[in-house]
Amino acid sequence: MRIISGIHKGRRIIAPKKESTRPTTDRSKEALFNILNNIYTWEDSSVLDLFAGTGNISYEFASRGVEKIVTVEINKGCAKFIDQTAKKLNINLKLINMDVFEFLKKTDSSFDIIFADPPYNLPLNNFQEIIDLIFKNNFIKEKGLLIIEHSKHYNFLDYPRWSHSKKYGNNSFSFFKK
Cα–Cα distance measured from residue 93 to residue 66, given in angstroms and rounded to the nearest whole number? 10
Domains present along the chain, CATH in parentheses: 26-177 (3.40.50.150)
Of 18-32, 81-95, 112-126, the least confident: 18-32
168: which strand partners? 171
DSSP tag of 89: T
Strand (E) or helix (H) holding 163: strand 162-168
**pLDDT per residue over 5-27, tens digit each?**
999 999 999 877 765 666 777 88
Tell me the angle at which helices 26-37 and 56-63 cross, rounded to the nearest 10 degrees. Answer: 40
DSSP tag of 118: -
Cα–Cα distance measured from residue 155 to residue 100, given in angstroms and rounded to the nearest whole number? 22
**pLDDT per residue over 35-82, tens digit each?**
999 889 898 899 999 999 999 999 999 999 999 999 999 999 999 999
